[in-house]
Amino acid sequence: MEKVFVITSGKGGVGKTTITANLGCTLAKMGDKVCLIDADIGLKNLDVVLGLENRIIHTVVDVTTGRVKPEEALVRHKTLKSLYLLPASQIATKEMVSPEDMKRIVHELYPNFDYIIIDSPAGIERGFRNAVAAAETAIVVSTPDLPSISDADRVIGLLEGSGFDSEQIKLIVNRIKPKMVKRGEMLTKEDIVEVLAVQLLGLIPDTDEMVIATNRGIPVSLNGNEGVARTFENIARRLKGQPVNVEEDIPAEKLGFVEAFLRLFRRTRG
């Protein structure tokens, strides 16, 4: 079973970093030892989403320059003791790390962890190549809009070109709005999967929970086991090879009093 994943997309702002943080937290909650690597050199964010920005001493650049070993640069999560972060540097540039450096870092960390998740920067240049170099499986994130799907398609083409086969590329559709899908105002998961022709790993609904969690530096997956936390649990289970229906990712819609009353009325008439 694969244990090194890269979270990528091509387009920026689709939720790669949030998904990396939440997936890491969920796997750690399940008892796995997880290492998250921030490959977004120069524009790091993963430490902020995890609430670890004040604990960084060394970064991935200190490792590539030989100043410290990968294990010495790791930051342990405050509450999840089996979750670690290898932070990116804010002052360095992507060119200071090479795909070979990344392979070496992952190779050294590999025996000590159950899962290694690499957060890729946006774009398809050096940063992307660094991030995917050591990955066994690529998780492509897309939102249900045209620019994001188009960029995801481009990235899938690049991944295939660099040796990833169809089993090694998976898709997460982020920020799905079930009500808009129902009204025919947003592409459905079937539409997106048909176009991208890759395996669907998960569907993440667009909720306020995610924004609030990022503001607090506490990933949403640490807020109990309901709502989006449950969605990430489903995704983590699928990564472990467990069969969990994708339909279970979108929590059942909560009805307001008026809506519930109207539905009851409609049902009685029908």
Partner 1 sequence: MMPLFFGFMRRKKKKSAREAKERLGAMLSTRKRSVPVEEILGEKISKESVGDVEHLIKRWAVERFKVGEKNIKVEFEEHNGYVVIITNITFD
- At 247, the amino acid letter reads E
Q: Any contact of residue 216 with partner 1 (CB under 8 A)?
A: no
* Count of beta carbons in the 10 Å neighbourhood of residue 194: 10
Q: Which is nearer to partner 1, 13 or 157 (CB)?
A: 157
Q: Which is nearer to partner 1, 195 or 244 (CB)?
A: 195
Which of 30, 195, 244, 250 is the binder for partner 1 (CB under 8 A)? 195
**Least distance (Å) between residue 179 CB and partner 1:** 12
Q: Say if CB 80 and CB 29 are below 8 A apart.
A: yes
Mark residues 128-157: x for contact with partner 1 by CB under 8 A, - for none.
Answer: -----------------xx--xx--xx--x
Q: Any contact of residue 176 with partner 1 (CB under 8 A)?
A: no
Q: Which is nearer to partner 1, 72 or 125 (CB)?
A: 125
Q: Say if CB 269 and CB 241 are below 8 A apart.
A: no
Q: Any contact of residue 66 with partner 1 (CB under 8 A)?
A: no
Which of 102, 132, 172, 186 is the binder for partner 1 (CB under 8 A)? 186
Which of 31, 66, 111, 184 is the binder for partner 1 (CB under 8 A)? 184
Cα 216 from chain centroid (whole Å) = 18
Q: Any contact of residue 90 with partner 1 (CB under 8 A)?
A: no
Cα 255 from chain centroid (whole Å) = 29
**Least distance (Å) between residue 137 CB and partner 1:** 19
**Least distance (Å) between residue 195 CB and partner 1:** 6
Distance between CA atoms of residues 231 and 15, nearest Å: 15
Kindly state the DSSP code that residue 231 receives in the 8-state scheme.
H
Phi-psi domain of 42 (left: phi exceeds 0; alpha: psi -120 through 50; beta: other): left
Q: Which is nearer to partner 1, 161 or 256 (CB)?
A: 161
Which of 31, 66, 111, 163 is the binder for partner 1 (CB under 8 A)? 163
Q: Which is nearer to partner 1, 1 or 146 (CB)?
A: 146
Q: Any contact of residue 191 with partner 1 (CB under 8 A)?
A: yes
Q: Say if CB 5 and CB 136 are below 8 A apart.
A: yes
E strand intervals along the chain = 4-8, 34-38, 75-76, 83-86, 115-119, 137-142, 169-176, 199-205
| HEC profile of 42-107 | CCCCHHHHCCCCCCCCCCHHHHHCCCCCHHHHCEECCCCCCEEEECCCCCCCHHHCCHHHHHHHHH
**Least distance (Å) between residue 201 CB and partner 1:** 20
Kindly state the DSSP code that residue 203 receives in the 8-state scheme.
E
Q: Which is nearer to partner 1, 163 or 241 (CB)?
A: 163
Q: Which residues here bind partner 1, judged by CB under 8 A?
A: 145-146, 149-150, 153-154, 157-158, 160-161, 163, 181, 183-188, 191, 195
